[in-house]
């Protein structure tokens, strides 16, 4: 077993009763400096570190713990950990009673939703006795909090991608096989249509009914062909052809293309753009597809006289583009399934548009978020990495 030699401070503390005032002052300064050093070390850690007793009373919390739990020094003494994280005491009860270590993953809702890995380990710490004249050993617990929110999101996205990929391989083959009989049906319906034109002079009453049935068949075949085409486009997205783009220019092109439709629907569009918006690296056609889908969704969700507000800006690392409509909004249960294939609340919708948007954003290293208030409207925010940020995220490791 390794033996650690006592430090000079420990040796001085052993004979503190014999020290003079000058030595005591020097010792206090050294203790203050060492405490300051340890404070700085703990405060630069990314993990939250707390010291609590069995009642959850917090004796120490570093800067990261303050951020994770929403603590502020200006609020005075910190409340018990059990009050900050309801339900945690029951979860940790076995370790608190037995004095053993424990690791758990928990969800924090304040000050913002986070996934956190908690590690608790007991230790004996000297505290003042009730008579204040002596020191006793008491059990305390060190709690280490690690923010695993991003890891959780990455894992969930990977699982979702693998789940979709397994379905896609089968579905793509089925879609391809469906295309062959649809082509054959189209050809034979065209033959029937030509022969029907020749028969119209014989019995107009019968041929009129047949012509209507034929038209219905042709429309249904065309609809099925469109569903397959949309599906194949969604599951086989082409890789982005990156080039330097100004999103404001691409947005203007899409709005000009959709101007007639927006006018017919009575939708008022307001665009607010910052004076200087950096370029990003993106595929121009895919960006048009994203904007087209979002603007179309927004316009279809609004009544005549609705307003679509588009805001374009940037921060240090991202270009941000937000689409806010005054439409019907999205119910919470539908919002949770917004990016699922074939989930749609629109009559005649194929439920692939938002899945395509999400895939394009991911392929560009971007992010999409949706906030909605049923009955009041929806805001879709796109976040694109700046060019220098993209190099840092996607470039080879140094």
128 falls in which pLDDT band (50, 70, 90)? low
Identify the pLDDT of residue 312. 95
Q: Could you please report the per-residue DSSP string of 286-339?
A: HHHHHHHHHHHHHHHTS-TT-EEEEEEEE-SSEEEEEEEE-S----HHHHTTTT
- Higher-confidence residue of 301 and 209: namely 301
How far is it, in rounded angstroms, from Cα 323 to Cα 258?
15
The phi and psi torsions of 148 (rounded to 5 degrees) equal -115, 20
Average pLDDT over residues 48-53: 92
Does the structure show a pLDDT above 50 at 227? yes
Assign 241 to helix, strand or coil: coil
- Report pLDDT for 202: 55
Between residues 171 and 325, the one the model is more confident about = 325
The two three-digit tokens of residue 210, written as one number: 């047949």
% of the chain beyond a pLDDT of 90: 22
For residue 83, name the pLDDT band (cuts at 50, 70, 90). confident
Whole-angstrom CA distances from 386 to 167, 294, 312, 318 are: 33, 22, 14, 5
**Lowest-confidence segment of 69-83, 232-246, 274-288 by average pLDDT:** 232-246
Cβ pair 361, 381 in contact under 8 A: no
| Strand 102-108 relative to strand 114-128, pairing | antiparallel
> Is the confidence at residue 396, as pLDDT, over 50?
no
Nearest Cα to Cα of residue 282 among 234, 316, 242, 247: 242
Q: SS3 for 118? A: strand
pLDDT of residue 25: 80
* Angle value at C-alpha 256, between 250 and 260, nearest 5 degrees: 150
Determine phi and psi for 56, rounding to 5 degrees. 85, 5
Whether residue 269 contacts residue 262, with contact meaning beta carbons closer than 8 Å, is answered with yes
Are 319 and 277 in contact by the 8 Å Cβ rule? The answer is: yes
Using an 8 Å Cβ cutoff, are 227 and 350 in contact? yes
User: What's the rounded mean pLDDT across residues 248-271?
Assistant: 91
Q: What is the per-residue pLDDT for 70? A: 86
Please state, in angstroms and as integers, the Cα–Cα distance from residue 331 to each residue in 96, 336, 349, following that order. Answer: 42, 9, 17
């Amino acid at each position: 077993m390794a033996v650690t030699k006592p430090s000079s401070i420990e040796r001085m503390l052993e004979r503190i009763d014999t020290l003079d005032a000058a030595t005591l002052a020097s010792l206090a300064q050294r203790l203050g400096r060492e405490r300051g050093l340890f404070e700085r070390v703990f405060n630069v850690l990314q993990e939250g570190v707390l010291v609590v007793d069995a009642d959850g009373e917090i004796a120490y919390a570093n800067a990261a713990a303050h951020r994770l739990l929403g603590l502020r020094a200006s609020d005075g003494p910190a409340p018990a950990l059990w009050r900050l994280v309801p339900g945690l005491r029951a979860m940790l009860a076995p370790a608190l009673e037995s004095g053993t270590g424990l690791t758990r993953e928990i969800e924090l809702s304040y000050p913002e939703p986070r996934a956190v890995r908690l590690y608790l380990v007991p230790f004996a710490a000297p505290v003042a006795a009730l008579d204040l004249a002596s020191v006793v050993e008491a059990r305390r617990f060190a709690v280490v909090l690690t923010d695993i929110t991003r890891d959780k999101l990455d894992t969930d996205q990977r699982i979702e991608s693998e789940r979709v990929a397994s379905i896609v391989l089968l579905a793509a083959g089925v879609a391809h096989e469906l295309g062959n009989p649809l082509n054959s049906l189209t050809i034979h319906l065209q033959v029937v249509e030509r022969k029907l034109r020749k028969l119209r002079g014989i019995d107009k009453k019968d041929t009129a009914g047949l012509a209507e049935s034929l038209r219905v068949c042709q429309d249904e075949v065309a609809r099925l062909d469109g569903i397959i085409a949309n599906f194949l486009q969604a599951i086989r997205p082409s890789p982005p052809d990156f080039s330097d783009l100004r999103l404001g220019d691409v947005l203007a092109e899409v709005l000009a293309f959709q101007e007639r439709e927006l006018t017919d629907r009575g939708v008022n569009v307001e665009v607010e753009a910052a004076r200087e918006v950096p370029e990003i690296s993106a595929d121009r056609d895919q960006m048009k597809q994203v904007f087209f889908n979002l603007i179309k969704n927004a316009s279809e969700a609004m009544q005549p006289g609705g307003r679509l507000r588009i805001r374009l800006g940037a921060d240090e690392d991202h270009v941000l583009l937000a689409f806010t409509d005054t439409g019907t909004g999205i119910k919470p249960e539908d919002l949770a399934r917004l990016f699922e294939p074939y989930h749609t609340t629109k009559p005649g919708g194929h439920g692939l548009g938002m899945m395509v948007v999400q895939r394009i954003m991911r392929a560009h290293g971007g992010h999409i978020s949706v906030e909605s208030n049923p009955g009041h409207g929806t805001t879709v925010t796109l976040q694109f990495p700046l060019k220098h940020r993209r190099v840092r995220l996607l470039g080879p490791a140094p």
